[in-house]
């Protein structure tokens, strides 16, 4: 299935039904007075989060949603039936924004959560409502109010505990394969990941977390270069970032330290809050470095970066060191949860 994470739709609530002008006419009651009922309320438009969905692709084909109009009032003071609501289902993690004002309407983060995006119009008043001591035969009724109409933008932000960052070919897809059951495409050329991938990492009984892999970020991403910037929003909800770096690049002129600094700069340009999230350095592909040279290469990178946060040296393809990261990440997430209590 194609991954689509943004869509714009038009939502229109139903108009209220019109009020009725009617007079009671029964045998032996020639002057029964007004009995026109009110119009029914128009249906509203709701958006609901559904955990069974994982893409917004359906909105590429249907962009307009309309709720039902309320029925008109009737004689004998009968109120018209209210219009049926329109229910739009979206993946969990969808942010809904008003296109005209850029105001966030809501953020659907749990299964079954609902958000009202267009309210139905109120029904008009029947003439029974206008009867007074001086006007016993009112010929007046009001029409129903129009339902709200607006354009809204749907933006999917995946819900994951841990997010992977790195240049193309840093080994992110190989890493997520090593620690979870996810099977993203892996190849020996850049940009093999074209859309985000999610995996569940299990580290023991009832101990697991969700990890997200996004397309590689390159220099200039915050200005539109490459693929990664449009997917950085998918790691904005994470509580921990794992920054993967290829410490054995094929091109001798490629400096892992420069690559780390470039991504740090792109994160800051994209969202200063995202750049301040906890981020661990993961030096990948140590299997490509001779054993007696590994320690010197690793320490050189750490020293030049002046890295004070946690770091790991691993081989994703050989699954060397990957289990240790998974356990450390689980412990970190557990501590974050405990601190919130």
pLDDT (tens place) for every residue of the chain, 341 residues total: 455 678 999 999 999 999 999 998 877 777 778 999 999 999 999 999 998 888 888 898 899 999 999 999 999 999 999 999 999 999 998 999 999 999 999 999 999 999 999 999 999 999 999 999 889 889 999 999 999 999 999 998 877 899 888 888 888 888 998 998 766 444 443 434 446 777 889 988 888 898 888 765 645 444 544 444 566 777 788 899 999 999 998 888 889 999 999 888 888 888 888 888 999 999 999 999 999 999 999 999 999 999 999 999 999 999 999 999 999 999 999 999 888 76
- Confidence (pLDDT) at 32: 78
* Residue 173 lies inside a defined structural domain of this protein: yes
The CATH code of the domain that includes 258 is 3.40.50.300
Residues 292 and 315 placed together within one structural domain of the fold:
yes
Report the domain count for the chain. 2
List Cα–Cα distances, 315 to 203, 247, 256, 284, 324, in angstroms. 19, 10, 16, 5, 12
Residues 173 and 303 placed together within one structural domain of the fold:
yes
Q: What pTM value is reported for the model?
A: 0.73
Domain extent at residue 279: 162-340
Residues 166 and 137 placed together within one structural domain of the fold:
no
- Confidence (pLDDT) at 186: 46
Give long-range contacts, CB 8 A cutoff, 24+ apart: 22-27: 22/74, 22/75, 22/76, 22/126, 22/127, 23/137, 24/75, 24/76
Residues 186 and 216 placed together within one structural domain of the fold:
yes
Residues 118 and 200 placed together within one structural domain of the fold:
no
Residues 317 and 240 placed together within one structural domain of the fold:
yes
Q: Which domain-ending residue is among 125, 156, 187?
A: 156
Residues 149 and 236 placed together within one structural domain of the fold:
no
* Residue 70 lies inside a defined structural domain of this protein: yes
Q: Which domain-ending residue is among 141, 156, 171?
A: 156
Residues 191 and 334 placed together within one structural domain of the fold:
yes
The CATH code of the domain that includes 53 is 2.70.210.12
Tell me the pairing of strands 86-91 and 45-50: parallel
Label residues 34-69 b or e (16+ Cβ within 10 Å = b): bbbbbbbbbbbbbbebbeebbbbeebeeeeebbbbb
Rounded Cα distance between 71 and 39, Å, is 6
Q: Which domain-ending residue is among 137, 156, 175?
A: 156
Residues 121 and 186 placed together within one structural domain of the fold:
no
Place of tokens 């770091």: 311
Residue 256: strand, helix, or coil = helix
Residues 52 and 185 placed together within one structural domain of the fold:
no
Rounded Cα distance between 229 and 5, Å, is 13
């Amino acid at each position: 299935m194609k991954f689509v994470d943004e869509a714009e739709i038009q939502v229109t609530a139903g108009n209220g039904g019109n009020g009725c002008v009617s007079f009671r006419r029964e045998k032996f009651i020639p002057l029964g007075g007004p009995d026109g009922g009110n119009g029914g309320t128009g249906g509203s438009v709701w958006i609901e989060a559904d955990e069974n969905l994982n893409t917004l692709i359906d909105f590429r084909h249907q962009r307009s949603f309309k709720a039902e109009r309320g029925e008109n009032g009737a004689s004998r003071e009968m109120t018209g039936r209210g219009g049926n609501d329109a229910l739009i289902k979206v993946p969990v993690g969808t942010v809904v924004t008003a296109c005209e004002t850029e105001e966030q309407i809501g953020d659907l983060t749990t299964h079954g959560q609902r958000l009202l995006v267009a309210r139905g119009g109120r029904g008009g008043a029947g003439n029974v409502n206008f009867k007074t001591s001086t006007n016993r035969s009112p010929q007046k009724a009001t029409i129903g109010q129009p339902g709200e109409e607006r354009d809204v933008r749907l933006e999917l932000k995946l819900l994951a505990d841990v997010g992977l960052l790195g240049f193309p070919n840093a080994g992110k897809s190989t890493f997520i394969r090593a620690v979870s059951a996810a099977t993203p495409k892996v190849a020996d050329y850049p940009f093999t990941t074209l859309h985000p991938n999610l995996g569940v990492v299990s580290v023991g009984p009832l101990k697991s977390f969700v990890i997200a892999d996004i397309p590689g970020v390159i220099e200039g991403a915050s200005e539109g270069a490459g693929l990664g910037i449009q997917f950085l929003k998918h790691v904005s909800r994470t509580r921990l970032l794992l920054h993967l770096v290829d410490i054995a690049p094929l091109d001798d002129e490629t400096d892992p330290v420069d690559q780390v600094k470039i991504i740090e700069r792109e994160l800051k340009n994209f969202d200063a809050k995202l750049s301040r999230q906890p981020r661990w350095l993961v030096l990948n592909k140590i299997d490509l470095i001779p054993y007696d040279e590994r320690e010197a290469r690793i320490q050189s990178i750490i020293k030049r970066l002046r890295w004070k946060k946690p770091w790991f040296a691993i081989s994703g393809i050989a699954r060397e060191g990957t289990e240790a990261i998974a356990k450390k990440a689980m412990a970190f997430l557990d501590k974050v949860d405990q601190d919130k209590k």
